[in-house]
Amino acid sequence: MTRLVIRQHRSSIGEKIAARRTLVALGLRRTGQSVEQADSKAVRGMLRRVAHLVQVSQGDASPEKPAKPTGRESGEVGQASSPRVRGSRARQQVASPETSGRE
């Protein structure tokens, strides 16, 4: 069975709720996101409803997807082990724990 690569190229803001739900059912959440779906009558019908929001192209026929790298290998930027800090007082304590005032 052939695969379809579906890319959302326009925003769903201002669209009818049925069109928004169709995008979610296709697996699309944001502009520029691409998903791969099996070609079927149901998917073709959904694509017809949101044709003005998506671009469709033929995908690879193999259903297997390559493994997605995780962690630092994927080019992730930032410190994964640092805690999330909110508020200026907490930032001061994280920035300089030796000057916390308590001894």
Condensed to tens digits (0 to 9), the pLDDT of residues 45-87 reads 999 999 999 999 998 765 555 556 665 555 556 555 656 666 6
Structural domains of the chain, ranges and CATH numbers in brackets: 3-58 (3.30.1390.20)
For the entire predicted model, the pTM comes to 0.58
Q: What is the DSSP string of 29-43?
A: -STT-EEEEE--HHH
Q: What is the DSSP string of 71-100?
A: GGGGT--S-SSSPP--SHHHHHHHH-GGGS
Instruction: List pLDDT tens digits, range 7-22.
Output: 999 999 999 999 999 9
